[in-house]
Structure formats: C-alpha cells, structure tokens
Amino acid sequence: MKMELFARSPKHLPIFKYTFGASGPRALIIGGVHGDEPEGVIAAQGVLAALNESFNYALQVIVIPEFNPEGIMNKQRMNSHGVDLNRNLPTKDWSPIAAKERYFPGPSAGSEPENKALVHLLETTPLDLIISLHSWNPMININGSGCQPEADILKKYTQYPIEPDIGYPTPGSLGTYAGKERNISTITFEIQRDIEFDKISKIHVPALLECLKQTEKRTRS
C-alpha cells in the first residue's frame, strides 16, 4: 500500500490517497465528499482497513476516504468555502446558480482544491470503476456504462434500488463529470442516512469488497 498526499483543503488540511496493487483494472473509492454524511466515511475507512489487512485482488484500488476533511470536522455538507464539492466539478452543464443554498457550486467550475486534485487524477489515471460513498435515501445511482455487475452486488447485500437517474440534474457532480461525460462506470452509493455504523461494517463494507472482486474481471482501461 502506498499512502500519498492527494491534496490540501482550503485551510490546508491534508487529504490522503491510498493505493493498493500495481496492475489490472483500476477502481477508485471516495468517501466523505459531503462532510455531514459520516456513513460514507465509515464505509470507505472500513474498505481501507480491510484492504490494508489483506489485499488479494488482481487490480489497482485507490481509496480517498475523507475527500472533504473540513466538512467532516465541521459536520457540514460543504468545505470551508461553503462549496458543495459534488456540484463544483467542471461539467458541461456547470452553472453558478445553486438550486438550493446547500448546493452552492462555487465561484467557478472546478474552483476548489479538492476537485482540482480529483480532475488531475481523472485526467492522468484511467479508471474502470468509481464508487463515491454518500448517505441519503438508500440508492445505488449509476452513471456511465458497465456499472450493472457491481451495482447488482451492492443491491444483493443492501436491497437498495438501482437508479440510472435520480430524477433531477446534478451539474458539477462526479456522476455527471466522470459517468455521463466520460463514460467511466460511476456508482454513487447512497447509504441509508443515520444507520448504525456497525451495520455499515457488516453489510456495506463486505458488499464493496465483493464489488472489487467483480471489477477484477474487467479489461483494463
């Protein structure tokens, strides 16, 4: 496992990236994009701990468990600039107008340091699968082609519905940027909000680990 500094938040908090494996298809797992969704951080940290204990996969896995450390510390959705990082990516439909205040997309597309680093990662590292871990109404939101086998595994463990469309546009989101616009298989895994953390360790972490077994079967991008 290789641990690297991925980026620094606006107030210079470190954001770490952990890489496992050296060859095969590549998967990216991100937690904590929204700081008030600890369920996603718990799931990402659980996957990180499991992979660190034993890594028996013929693929590369990048884990960024706490993408928005300022939001996590402040228990708020946004970073310290008040920006919703899942509305700030430079998508074609990015707009400076927020649908609601909590979706503030930032002063310009891709303005935030967290997202600058993410865009750089996506531009320099071909990825076969992205899973972003959030919490809300339980849902497996899929964007980009080829998500179905992994989505089916998440559904098998959680009984959450698989939704190709959440019913409203999400400009500046990772699903739009990576999935819709770059056709990278991108799953936004909305874990049930306020679920006990124990359940996440028992259900969602094993589900994600089995997903990685499935991703091994892909041909490398």
Per-residue binding string, Zn ion, 33-52, x by CB under 5 A, is -x--x---------------
Q: Which two tokens stand for residue 84?
A: 């919703």
Residue 218 is a binding residue for Zn ion (CB under 5 A): no
Residue 134 is a binding residue for Zn ion (CB under 5 A): yes
Q: How far apart are CA 136 and CA 79, in angstroms?
A: 18
Neighbouring residues of 179: CB distance < 8 A, sequence distance ≥ 6: 130, 142, 143, 144, 147, 185, 186
| Secondary structure letter of residue 200 according to DSSP | I
Part in contact with Zn ion (CB under 5 A); list of ranges 7-15, 107-115, 132-140, 165-173:
132-140
Part in contact with Zn ion (CB under 5 A); list of ranges 51-59, 94-102, 119-127, 133-141:
133-141
Part in contact with Zn ion (CB under 5 A); list of ranges 32-40, 151-159, 198-206, 212-220:
32-40
Q: How far apart are CA 145 and CA 28, in angstroms?
A: 16
Residue 17 is a binding residue for Zn ion (CB under 5 A): no
CB neighbourhood size of 133 (10 A): 30
The sign of the CA dihedral 206, 211, 217, 221 is negative
Q: Output the smallest distance, CB 186 to Zn ion, in A.
A: 14
187 residue type, one letter:
I
Q: Output the smallest distance, CB 122 to Zn ion, in A.
A: 19
Q: Output the smallest distance, CB 200 to Zn ion, in A.
A: 15
Query: Which residues of this protein are in contact with Zn ion, per CB under 5 A?
Result: 34, 37, 134
